[in-house]
Amino acid sequence: MKYYAGCYESPLGSLLMTSDGEALTGLSFVDEPSALQVTQSLPVFAAASRWLDLYFSGKVPEESISRLFV
């Protein structure tokens, strides 16, 4: 099984998004964003980024982010 990683730059710091290729498997803050290498752009990362954009802009996303997790 392959695993993928992406980075989201939030107002609170860099978040590491991990995925199995279809759903989020993790979302956590990282200490050293320069150590991250984005291996592949995935639709689930784009969906998570849109949700986080709404959340950090003070809006309430219509859908729960939990739907993106395995």
3-state SS of the chain is: CCCEEEEEEECCEEEEEEECCCCEEEEEECCCHHHCCCCCCCHHHHHHHHHHHHHHCCCCCCCCHHHHEC
- Is the pTM for the entire model greater than 0.75? no
Distance CA 6, CA 30 (A): 11
pLDDT of 7: 92
Domains by residue range for the chain, with CATH: 4-68 (3.30.160.70)
Give residue-wise pLDDT tens across range 30-68. Answer: 875 555 466 667 888 899 999 999 999 999 998 898 988
Task: Find out whether 68 and 19 touch, Cβ atoms under 8 Å.
Answer: no
pLDDT of residue 42: 84
- Length of the chain measured in residues: 70
